[in-house]
Amino acid sequence: QVQLVQSGSEVKKPGSSVTVSCKASGGTFGNYALSWVRQAPGQGLEWMGRVIPVLGTTNYAQDFQDRVTITADKSTNIAYLSLRSLRSDDTAVYYCTRGGDSGSFAFWGQGTLVTVSS
């Protein structure tokens, strides 16, 4: 069974950067796209971008293109989300998620709360 385990909560200052990790176990890490989705307090789900480890390719949502980098290390089965120039409205729970045999997101990490506050 696929499991995604994320790193712990973070508190950051405005203007700084944050990196969240997601370790995958079970299944074949490299063959499936791994996406990051965030959820601000009381709000809906927002796709940020994805990495396809076997191809080494990334795609980003337009709203995040200038500030986000998603990487994957096939040797450790860990994916990373880096977000720069943090603002207070980046305060959210960040989820890593992976598809199954369809393009939907069958597997989710437990979420990582990132709080941006001065």
Partner 1 sequence: DIQMTQSPSTLSAFVGDRVTITCRASQSIHIWLAWYQQRPGRAPKLLVYDASILESGVPSRFSGSGSGTEFTLTISSLQPDDFATYYCQQYDTFYTFGQGTKVEIK
- Beta-bridged to residue 92, according to DSSP, are 114
Site for partner 1 in 30-49 (CB under 8 A): 35, 37, 44-47
> Binding residues for partner 1, how many (CB under 8 A)?
22
Site string for partner 1, 6-25 (x = CB under 8 A): --------------------
| Residue 1 binds partner 1 (CB under 8 A) | no
| Residue 53 binds partner 1 (CB under 8 A) | no
CA distance 45 to 28: 26
Residue 65 near residue 85, CB atoms below 8 Å: no
CA distance 2 to 108: 9
